[in-house]
Amino acid sequence: MMDVFTARAMIAGKAQALPQESVPLAQALGRILAADITARIDVPPAANSAMDGYALQIPDTAAPWRLPVSQVIAAGRAPSPLQLGTAARIFTGGEIPAGANAVAIQEECERDGDQVIVLIAPAVGENIRPRGQDLQAGQLVATTGTRLTALHLGLLASCGVDAVEVRRRPRVALLSSGSELVEPGRPLQPGQIYNSNLHLLRGLLQDWGCELVQETCVADDLEQTRAILKASAERADLIISTGGVSVGDADHLKAAISSLGELDLWKVNMKPGKPLAFGRLGTTPILALPGNPVSAFTTAILFVKPFIEGLYGRPYQELPFQNLPAGFAIHQPRRRPEFMRVRAENGRLQPFANQSSGVLSSLLWADGLAWIAADSTLAEGNPVPYLPMQTLLTL
């Protein structure tokens, strides 16, 4: 069996970056940049007022000052140069006229007909947003590999970007193996269970920006498994399956993959998630995950996620462990390393009471996974490598 970290790096290293495409900014939310983006203009493009008030050149005398109002400047209008010895009525966002060096806010002024009395002297530059205060033309705004959020879209729009180069969405075929699986909404017959893995993995893949081109439940039959795998390989960038990858008589994934393509990996030294397979059907990679729901989730975030990041052209990243003290002890060493579902309480990690790979509710309870090395014991208070759940979930 291959160790977790070697297997993870090997699988991620097989990913080939997908082609890039240009999409309008309005369609770019959640997409992964395929090229750096620089600002096209200064932002703001001209100095403007941060407040409603009066733009002026500060006189040499002490305030208060009585100044004639020579123009009114609203946002979106080009001002005239400021006449010496006058003030310009200006509104928030209005462009600062040439010759003005401050804005006196209206609460510190009194209007008297066509004149204004400035009661409190502003400092030079006060209430003025200078040109390029946010961004300067040519400044790097977003880098290759960035997943675009609403904040990115707003910033890109502010500097005139109307379209971006992104990676094409990965096309994924999602298969669930098992004659016992039934979709929610149908009554269960004896021996049947609801197909939680399909919905769990669909959610993860959609959150990671994938396009689901196929969602199929595969019966425990070798020839049906082969036929569905062959069809999936013709339309997907990646095939992900759950179940059927162990060593039981009804587990056909390994044989089907081996007969149609190549199997690079089978079994990883970890708990939960030992029965994991990786290979190719022609040029289409396949990741066959275990059927137990916690095992399917754990292998998805450990192995599927970095592979998808590789499809987006992102470089491989090691797992971002951080150390937290254990709120529990391990007296008997485990034969296999384990990712334990834990939650930080009062600064210490506490494990979920039932670590069975079939207890899906434990993942909602947990806020992370703790790495417990094989053949080791642990005393309460010892540091434990910990992976926050939010980090694991976020692409």
Q: What is the spatial distance between Cα 158 and Cα 152, in angstroms, rounded to a whole number?
A: 10
Q: Convert the pLDDT of each residue in 145-195 to its tens digit.
A: 999 999 999 999 999 999 999 999 999 999 998 889 999 999 999 999 999
385 within a domain of the structure (yes/no): yes
**3-class state of residue 198 by DSSP:** helix
Q: What is the spatial distance between Cα 272 and Cα 305, in angstroms, rounded to a whole number?
A: 17
pLDDT at 68 over 90: yes
Pair (59, 183) in one structural domain: no
Note the helical H segments in the chain: 4-13, 150-158, 196-207, 222-233, 253-260, 293-299, 305-311, 361-365, 389-393
What CATH number should be reported for the domain holding residue 91?
A: 2.170.190.11
pTM for this model (two decimals) = 0.90
Residues 6+ apart with CB under 8 A from 107: none
Domain limits at 139? 21-43+135-167
Look at the block and give the residue holding tokens 């162990």: 246
317 within a domain of the structure (yes/no): no
User: What was the pLDDT predicted at 340?
Assistant: 97
> Confidence class of residue 221 from pLDDT cuts 50, 70 and 90?
confident
Q: How far is CA 233 from CA 115, 169, 342, in A?
A: 78, 16, 37
Pair (25, 159) in one structural domain: yes
Pair (119, 224) in one structural domain: no
Q: Convert the pLDDT of each residue in 230-278 to its tens digit.
A: 999 999 999 999 987 765 555 678 888 888 999 999 999 999 999 999 9
- CA–chain centroid gap for 223, Å, is 38
316 within a domain of the structure (yes/no): no
Q: Kindly tell me the burial class for residue 325, based on how many C-beta atoms sit within 10 Å of its own C-beta (0-12, 13-18, 19 or more).
A: middle
Record the tokens describing residue 78, joined without a space: 């080009």
> Confidence class of residue 316 from pLDDT cuts 50, 70 and 90?
very high
Record the tokens describing residue 214, joined without a space: 């196929």
Percent of the chain exceeding pLDDT 90 equals 91
Query: Strands 338-345 and 348-351, how do they pair?
Result: antiparallel
Q: What is the spatial distance between Cα 63 and Cα 65, in angstroms, rounded to a whole number?
A: 5
What CATH number should be reported for the domain holding residue 246?
A: 3.40.980.10
Pair (301, 232) in one structural domain: yes
The count of domains in the chain is 4
Q: Kindly tell me the burial class for residue 343, based on how many C-beta atoms sit within 10 Å of its own C-beta (0-12, 13-18, 19 or more).
A: middle
Pair (334, 267) in one structural domain: no
User: What was the pLDDT predicted at 125?
Assistant: 97
Q: How far is CA 385 from CA 243, 349, 351, 382, in A?
A: 29, 10, 13, 10
φ, ψ of residue 374 in degrees (nearest 5): -70, 155
Record the tokens describing residue 385, joined without a space: 């490598």
Pair (161, 27) in one structural domain: yes
Pair (119, 232) in one structural domain: no
Q: How far is CA 139 from CA 36, 39, 131, 152, in A?
A: 11, 5, 14, 14
Closest residue by Cα to residue 56 from 35, 36, 77, 79? 79
Q: Which of 217-221, 264-268, 354-358 is predicted with the least confidence, judged by mean pLDDT? A: 217-221
92 within a domain of the structure (yes/no): yes
User: What was the pLDDT predicted at 279?
Assistant: 95
Average pLDDT on 208-237 reads 93
pLDDT at 220 over 90: no
Q: What does the mean pLDDT of the chain come to?
A: 95
User: What was the pLDDT predicted at 253?
Assistant: 82
Pair (148, 55) in one structural domain: no
